[in-house]
Amino acid sequence: MEEIVQETWNTPRKPIPVFKVDPVLVLIFGFLTCGLYLIYWNIKVAEVFNAVSEREVISQPIAIFAGCCYPVNIYFFYLAGRDGLPDVYHRSGSAQKDDTVLLLILGLFFPMIAAMIVQNDINKLYN
């Protein structure tokens, strides 16, 4: 029986969605909307991470619930630091660093500041 082999070397990559926001605006919008902006922000960041990694790093339900529920929020920033940001650093040519623990702590106590850090690293993709 003949096995069909699918070549992937010429498969076009999914384009990275453009989500370049000033990190200070993430903080300001987060405070002005009492955190509701972070739900939208989580969804957009999940789309960027998934496109950069070419796999599902953060699912849409996790991204949505992370803006509403603290335990899921901590998990969101854990996935961002462990799985999402390393691929962003690789794709943007930035120096590799591990901010997972920092994002976990900030995600627990100051999620808007953790979002600022992640947004700053994502913005490096578009320079």
Q: Over the range 89-102, which residues count as b (16 or more CB within 10 Å of their CB) and which as e?
A: beeeeeeeeebbee
Q: Summarize pLDDT for 50-75 with one digit per residue, the tens.
A: 999 999 999 999 999 998 888 899 99
Give the global pTM. 0.86
Give dist(CA 71, CA 91) in Å, integer.
29
What is the model's pLDDT at position 63? 94
3-state DSSP assignment of residue 87: helix
